[in-house]
Amino acid sequence: MNHTPAPAPAWQQAVFKVLKEGGVDQIAYVPDAGHSHVIRSAIADPDIQDVVLTTEEEGVAVCSGAWLGGHRAVLLMQSSGVGNCVNMFSLLQAADFPFFTLVTMRGEYAEFNPWQGPMGKATQAALELMGIHVLRASKSEEVEEIVSAGFDAAFEAGEKVAVLLGQELIGRKKWERK
């Protein structure tokens, strides 16, 4: 029986390519299937420190601290985690830190879990209310350009940027009955 994992979708490979070529040396995350390729790639890359979080708001502090130390860090999270970060986003405004996060969306396309709906619908507005510029990628072929544009806005222009990765990129999820 062959247990070789299937290759990651092209859009996930493109995300890691942008981060690697951009000099990211820390990736903070709460484990998430939509970010699995980037997480596995960061773990395997000796030049990138992967930081597993217990909650997403810790990632805002990790990214801020990395910047103070002369490093580039990115926060990977699911849309439900944005709600956990709202208070911590005030750190970004108060200290005027650049910030870049990639958010896999839930509560949208073919969502099966009713708990994901409210935050999924409020994610963009919550980010914008906290002064974070929001970009969205919904099609595989647009991911690399949008992630790259957001990355440059954060680390070259000093902006606070979130790229929302639409749920249709990840595909339908279903409860597994046993």
User: Residue 12: pLDDT band by 50, 70, 90 thresholds?
Assistant: very high
Q: What is the CATH number of the domain that holds 15?
A: 3.40.50.970
Residue 178 counted as domain residue:
no
Who's near 60: CB < 8 A, 6+ residues apart?
A: 75, 85, 88, 89, 91, 92, 99
Residue 3 counted as domain residue:
no
Predicted confidence (pLDDT) at residue 75 exceeds the cutoff of 60: yes
Predicted confidence (pLDDT) at residue 74 exceeds the cutoff of 80: yes
Predicted confidence (pLDDT) at residue 1 exceeds the cutoff of 80: no
Domain that holds residue 78: 10-170
Residue 61 counted as domain residue:
yes
Predicted confidence (pLDDT) at residue 6 exceeds the cutoff of 90: no
Residue 175 counted as domain residue:
no
Predicted confidence (pLDDT) at residue 151 exceeds the cutoff of 80: yes
Residue 65 counted as domain residue:
yes
Token pair listed for 56:
């997403």
How many structural domains does the chain have? Answer: 1
List, for residues 30-59, the tens digit of each pLDDT value.
998 889 999 999 999 999 999 999 999 999
Residue 34 counted as domain residue:
yes
User: Residue 168: pLDDT band by 50, 70, 90 thresholds?
Assistant: confident
Residues of the chain above pLDDT 90, percent:
76
pLDDT of residue 119: 76
Output the average pLDDT for the chain.
Answer: 91
Predicted confidence (pLDDT) at residue 116 exceeds the cutoff of 60: yes
Q: Specify which residues 102 forms β-bridges with.
A: 76, 163
Residue 2 counted as domain residue:
no
SS3 for the chain, per residue? CCCCCCCCCHHHHHHHHHHHHCCCCEEEECCCHHHHHHHHHHHHCCCCEEEECCCCHHHHHHHHHHHHCCCCEEEEEEHHHHHHHCCCHHHHHHHCCCEEEEEECCCCCCCCCHHHHHHHHHHHHHHHHCCCEEEEECCHHHHHHHHHHHHHHHHCCCCEEEEEECHHHHCCCCCCCC
